[in-house]
Structure 1
Amino acid sequence: MKKLLLPVILCITVATHAQITQNAAQLLRLYEDDDFFNVWGRGTDKGYSNGSSIGYVYMKKKPSVFIDNWLFPKAGKDAVNVFDWALMQIMITPNQIADTSFHPEDYYYAGALFATHGLTSYDPVKKYSLRSEIVFGVLGPWSLAKETQTLFHHIINYQPPEGWEHQVPNSPLLNYNFTYERMVWEYRRSGEVVAGVTGRAGTMITGFTAQVYARYGLINPYFGDTNVQRAMRRKFQLYLMVRPQFTAVAYNALLQGGIFRSRDTNFEELEGKHTSHMRRFSIGLDYGIGIGIGRTSICYTQQTRTAWMSGTGKHSVGNITLLIPLSPSTNSSR
């Protein structure tokens, strides 16, 4: 049955990475990663297997106070500031999920459940943005990843995952992520190239990513415009996108076991048998198509990465992102 789901999903969903601009007041964001989604028909159920998120995107009518002022820098006094909250669950599994034994040459079973709170602040004149985000949650059995995957596989009548007894132990997750992006090239209001770098630090992931994001088609400006009408001149958007990237990682709790792994005797035994190790460097390529109608957008992106763990090979994950307006548009830009 699972083989029948992909064509249905792709028929009703396309595209990803639609920018958020001046009309972002109160949006619902639905986000789904799954390695079974694959435009080439080669879906899998291994490695980074799934990530599901629901979020709320909004603009404030009053100035920020407390933590939003301390941790979230703004792109100048004339910046457009878009805030968000989200809840996300992700899971990583080895290739043979129907096997109850431990596979030392593969990924650990790992799940995480966490909330994020962030700010995307951009300058329509200088055409750059600052994205800051805090992450807080749990790793391990507390994430309920085992229960989620088992339930979903039961619903679609797919093989049950049998190896979650070998998952990483419970650990707290706390991270701060920061991204800087700047426009480097534009072509006749139809093409854009944006360069960016992301840094991450904390108990979840510590590392950085450098990337270039290019898109072409019927688009509104990525960093908006000082005039809201010009910023949203196209009521219908349709574009292709590509995003090559390079990532360096010093620490990843989902691949290495979390900060409390040394306190768990069962996991220490698994770690001693593990023959695969986390790769510090990886390269990736995202590509996809995006559609926007007014303030609603639906997107599909195929995300391909070189191996995160030695001996596991490259991996590809499909992403579906949907933005749905919850309120009338606003001309507010603060």
Structure 2
Amino acid sequence: MKYFFSVLLLSCLWLQSSAQVYKNEFGFTTENDAYLATLNDRYYTNGLFLYYRRAINPANFKTNIAKKTYEISVAQKIYTPYSGDAPIKENQDRPFAGYLDAGATYSVFYKNEFVLKTTAQIGTVGSNSLAEKGQKLLHKTVGFYTPEGWEYQIKNELAINLSANAAKLLYRTNDKIFDVTGEGYANLGTTFSGAGISALLRIGKLNQLFNSSSYNATIGETADKRFNEKEFFFYLRPKLNYVAYDATIQGSLFNNDSPVTFGVKPIVYEQQAGVNYTIRRLSFDFSLIFKTKEVKSVAEAQNYGSFSMVYRFN
């Protein structure tokens, strides 16, 4: 009998652990063209994103809403011409530029697997973004070349940007191992303005959009009925972007005092291919991104890699 109760107690503890719901998560994303294992070091050469998310108490949710979350984040992006060593102004095929911001995101996840996210960001473009210092410190630390040419970077400008993203499940197989989601976004701001549409194709061990790491929805205030305790899937995300304005290429909206600027290609096609693995507390994501030309110059197409890790807790 003692043995029976011991087994029962351990089983209850295990079940409680397996059903654990986490309300918070902290994570980071790092993006770099070096992740493609090439010698290129150009254009969008490095990005770093830190974020904290928390699930909102569902007490007053409408019946069609599965989950709400909010997020605060900081991000830095670094852009260079064909190389970080481009000291001759006339040879630069893209401006040196840095972007630094702090942002807040509010996400609503509906039970019919529709997702709506709105984001506001405030920051700076220019030397105040610390991009020059960041790249030079990184290169010195790892023994790379010394970047040259940052004196021609895009000038300081206040960055205020708003964005909205929407996603809706379009199709899922009966065995729940493959699905397709339609996506759209719009940006409006002093740094980035434009819009785009995309599709997310996933295959593997999946969860609903309101429970999936695909949309940063693995946290919650209450336990949801998930397809799978873990996620492991491969995905493709083809995207068509309309670029109305990009201050990291064109300079300030309000003046033309940056020493090197170019026009933008208004239509940019992007293909992302990646893999995602999610367990109770952790999520990992790695992807490769390939873009067509973004700059009206001799600059070539843009390719880079992205790695993310998230840790959940209460």
TM-score range, shorter chain: 0.7 to 0.9
Q: TM-score, normalised on structure 1?
A: 0.80
Q: Does 1:100 align with 2:100?
A: no
Find the counterpart in structure 1 of residue 294 from structure 2: 308
Find the counterpart in structure 1 of residue 105 from structure 2: 118
Find the counterpart in structure 2 of residue 191 from structure 1: 178
CA RMSD of aligned residues (A): 2.3
Find the counterpart in structure 1 of residue 196 from structure 2: 209
Contact 1:113 / 1:143 at 8 angstroms: preserved in 2? yes
State how 1:282-297 maps to structure 2 within 5 Å: 282-297=268-283
Contact 1:24 / 1:57 at 8 angstroms: preserved in 2? no
In structure 2, relative to structure 1, the CA distance for the partners of 1:81 and 1:23 (3 Å cut) is farther
**Aligned pair partner of 2:131 in 145, 169, 172:** 145
Q: Does 1:55 align with 2:51?
A: yes
**Aligned pair partner of 2:225 in 220, 230, 233:** 230
* Identity in percent: 20
**Aligned pair partner of 1:170 in 132, 144, 156:** 156
Q: TM-score, normalised on structure 2?
A: 0.85
Q: 3-state SS of the aligned residue for 1:146? A: helix
Find the counterpart in structure 1 of residue 72 from structure 2: 85
After superposition, what is the alpha-carbon deviation per residue over 1:83-129, rounded to whole angstroms, capped at 9, x for unaligned?
100000101001132232114551100001101100121112x2201
State the structure with more CA Rg: 2
Q: Distance in 2 between matches of 1:63 and 1:168?
A: 47
Find the counterpart in structure 1 of residue 8 from structure 2: none
- Counterpart of 1:161, as a letter, is P
- Counterpart of 1:50, as a letter, is N
Contact 1:24 / 1:82 at 8 angstroms: preserved in 2? no
Q: 3-state SS of the aligned residue for 1:99? A: coil
Q: Does 1:155 align with 2:141?
A: yes
Contact 1:189 / 1:221 at 8 angstroms: preserved in 2? no
1:209 to partner: Cα distance? 1.1
Q: Distance in 1 between matches of 2:116 and 2:21?
A: 18
Q: 3-state SS of the aligned residue for 1:249? A: strand
In structure 2, relative to structure 1, the CA distance for the partners of 1:229 and 1:128 (3 Å cut) is closer
Q: Unpaired segments of 5 or more residues in structure 2?
A: 1-19, 213-219
Deviating above 6 A after TM superposition, structure 1's stretches of 4 or more consecutive aligned residues are none
Q: Distance in 2 between matches of 1:201 and 1:82?
A: 22
Q: 3-state SS of the aligned residue for 1:230? A: coil
In structure 2, relative to structure 1, the CA distance for the partners of 1:63 and 1:256 (3 Å cut) is farther
- Counterpart of 2:27, as a letter, is R
Matched pairs, number:
285
Contact 2:40 / 2:83 at 8 angstroms: preserved in 1? no
Contact 2:64 / 2:110 at 8 angstroms: preserved in 1? no
In structure 2, relative to structure 1, the CA distance for the partners of 1:23 and 1:155 (3 Å cut) is same
Q: 3-state SS of the aligned residue for 1:95? A: coil
In structure 2, relative to structure 1, the CA distance for the partners of 1:299 and 1:162 (3 Å cut) is same
Q: 3-state SS of the aligned residue for 1:37? A: helix
Structure with larger RCO (C-alpha < 8 A, sep 6+): 1
Contact 1:57 / 1:83 at 8 angstroms: preserved in 2? yes
- Counterpart of 2:75, as a letter, is M
